[in-house]
Amino acid sequence: MEFLVASSIGLLTACGVYMLLRGRTFPVVIGLSLLSYAVNVFLFAMGRLQVDLPPIISDSAPGYTDPIPQALVLTAIVISFGMTALIVVLALRTYLEIGNDHVDGLSGGPTDTGEQE
């Protein structure tokens, strides 16, 4: 099971970095989302989730589940949603201002240097 979780975290991270390096804005947004998913799964996996144990210390239960990783993941989900919404709005505004969706603002042709004649 640990190998599966570690492999999924690695795959999400690799796909996220690959998408971040693309030239258009939509794959960059998807790459940031994949990286945030990888961080969320990593934080959740490092929390050592215990099944059927309460998130508080009590005398009646033999152990407890640490609630901190769950709270961190929940907070990270909310922050990543807000970050994704902001980036989508900025990308849309850039597309409307410039007229293309390239990250660097150029049209992307092989002869285009970005200079006006």
What is the full per-residue pLDDT of the chain (117 aa) written as tens digits? Answer: 789 999 999 999 999 999 999 988 899 999 999 999 999 999 888 887 777 777 777 777 777 777 888 888 999 999 999 999 999 999 899 889 888 888 887 765 555 555 554
Residues 6+ apart with CB under 8 A from 32: 16, 20, 80, 83, 84, 87
Residue owning tokens 């004649």: 117
Cα(67)–Cα(3) distance, rounded to whole angstroms? Answer: 24
Residue owning tokens 């033999």: 62
Answer CATH for 2-49+65-98 from 3.40.470, 3.30.420, 2.30.30, 1.10.287: 1.10.287
Domain ranges in the chain are 2-49+65-98
